[in-house]
Amino acid sequence: MVLRPVKGQFACQGCKGTARRGPVTAEAPDPLPPEAELALAWSGPMVRAPLSMALQLDRRLARIVGRTHEPMLGQMRLAWWRDALGKPVGERPRGDAVLDGIGLHWLGREAFLTQMVDGWEVLVTAQSLGATEAAAFGTGRGAFFAGLGDNPAGGVLGPRLAAAGRRWALADAAAGVSDPEECAVLTKAGLAVAAPAGRIPRALGGLAVLEALAARALARGGRPLMEGRGASLAALRAAIFRV
């Protein structure tokens, strides 16, 4: 995510042109950042496509928030995705690479992606970014981690993955804002996330990689996830040990 706050809102670095009222028909997926590509490489074959689609949706939502100057318009654009995800696959608009991919790889688990939409909406509607808003954003944005588990509705793995998702969501956001105060709020919220004990399954090793890079970035004060020579080593350790 490459967002910078502008007068209480967020602007996407590198996003050009005017904002649209909905996603562009037949829009291709965006390039993913290096840490995301690394996570995909360490994910099992059955996880790779769903994780890629979730990360692509996250970038779409970040773009909407980054281009929003009027909260109501931002909410309308986010509502488009919420409504689309709530419809049966056969009733959704066709031709958008991300939405079509979600229909293939997230069938029956769309509620986790809807929570992501809700998380991003926090940044559109919040008057200021405080601890409550940061926590709500992290919980919603990172909810899809739990949705990638074999039993998202229960067991001990769900809370473990949910905590990893919150940590990643907040660390990535902290690295993307230019306001030091907002970076501090997001970093503090991320450091406050307590991950339950437990090992992440090998197939979900990519999530362990993202969590480890997030934890490192938070400990460094909200720095970019892949910054520094130690990032690759942290990712490798996480992929092997997954704790």
d(CA 225, CA 215): 9
DSSP-derived 3-state class of residue 228: coil
pLDDT at 6 over 70: no
pLDDT at 26: 55
Q: What global pTM score does this model have?
A: 0.88
Closest CA to 116 of 94, 89, 98, 97: 98
DSSP-derived 3-state class of residue 4: strand
pLDDT at 49 over 60: yes
Which residues 6+ apart lie within 8 Å of 104 measured at CB?
A: 49, 53
pLDDT per residue over 7-40, tens digit each? 333 444 333 333 333 444 456 678 899 999 999 9
pLDDT at 185: 98
pLDDT per residue over 120-162, tens digit each? 999 999 999 999 999 999 999 999 999 998 765 556 799 999 9
Please report, rounded to a whole number, the percentage of residues in the chain having pLDDT higher than 70: 86
The helix (H) or strand (E) run that includes residue 174 is helix 157-176
pLDDT at 44: 96
Kindly report the average pLDDT of the chain as a whole number: 88
pLDDT at 2 over 80: no
Half-sphere exposure of 145 (CA within 13 A, CB side): 30
Give the Cα-Cα-Cα angle 19, 54, 189 (nearest 5 degrees): 85
DSSP-derived 3-state class of residue 122: helix
pLDDT at 27: 67
pLDDT at 193: 97
Instruction: Place 165 in a pLDDT band, splitting at 50, 70 and 90.
Output: very high
